Amino acid sequence: MAKVFNRVLVATATTGTGTMTLGAAEDSFQTFAAAGAVNADVVEYFIRDGSAWEVGTGTIGGGTTLTRTVTESSNSDAAINLSGDAVVGCGISRAAFDAKAPLASPVLTGNPTAPTQTAGNNTTRLATTAFVATGLAGQVPRAGNVTLTGGIDSDVQALGTVSSGTVTLEVDAAGKENFKTLTANGAFTLAPPSTSSSCTIIVQVTNGASAGTITTSGFTIVNGDAYETTSGNDYLFHVKKIGSFTSLTVEALQ
């Protein structure tokens, strides 16, 4: 990308359409070299020669010459024929300006970089690949084999008080956890997962004062302890699903 330097405006005694020799700085300005341009730098330039003008990108040679590649000019966008009494300066062209990414919804190409945020940052700042890699380190992958070296601490989904209808146990969306709780306070039906794939679900059931019969529907097999409607009783309902087969095992906790 072509460079731009501040306050550069120099005279040139070059004639013709070829490489220019850069002269002394105009009053209150500086040369390309004084501004920091070095050999082989590609810079944005403009030329004014009477009523003729030219803008483009040029390559600095030895700090004293400029090879011209024209972007626009008063000569039908070709190099103007220098008279020997022109000035050449440095400034960004409209084409270069338009090539800049806008602040709103920029479309970046190549390999743009950004600062890596502190691990755990939960803001709208950009996340680099390094930030993502740090965040994923130690997570259980969704595919492939993994050896667990510690326990799994899961969230619990509270189903609230259930007094009628059908409770279908699912883990197919965010917030639908494998561990669930509910308070039984009436007669209702318990059904196995229908949209969830193979999974294990454990439901802690606590009887309320109006606990009623829990009917099961759709399970391949139901076994375990007998469910009683005594207020205050607690149970664990163990649900397992593999393919089209589902089982429910009732475990009384008293």
* Contacts of 148-157 spanning 24+ positions with Cβ under 8 A: 154/178, 154/179, 155/179, 156/180, 156/181, 157/181
Domain end among 98, 132, 148: 98
* Domains held by the chain: number: 2
Task: Give the pLDDT confidence score for residue 103 in this predicted structure.
Answer: 83
The structure's pTM equals: 0.50
Query: What mean pLDDT is reported for the chain?
Result: 92
Q: Which of 98, 122, 145 is the last residue of a domain?
A: 98
Report the percent of the chain where pLDDT is more than 90: 74
> Is 54 contained in some domain?
yes
If DSSP states are collapsed to H, E and C, what string results for 90-119? CCCCHHHHHCCCCCCCCCCCCCCCCCCCCC
The domain boundary, picked from 48, 80, 98, lies at: 98
Select the more confidently predicted residue: 139 or 5.
Answer: 5
Residue 120 lies in a domain: no
Report the distance separating Cα 42 and Cα 205, nearest Å: 75
Can you give the residue range of the structural domain that contains 236?
156-252
Contacts (Cβ under 8 Å, ≥6 apart) of 79: 17, 18, 54, 68, 70, 73
Which position has the higher pLDDT, 3 or 142? 3
User: What's phi and psi for 215, nearest 5 deg?
Assistant: -95, 140
Residues ≥6 apart with Cβ < 8 Å to 1: 42
Q: Are 128 and 150 in contact (CB under 8 A)?
A: no
Confidence at 100, pLDDT banded by 50, 70, 90: confident
> What is the pLDDT, as a whole number, of residue 199?
94
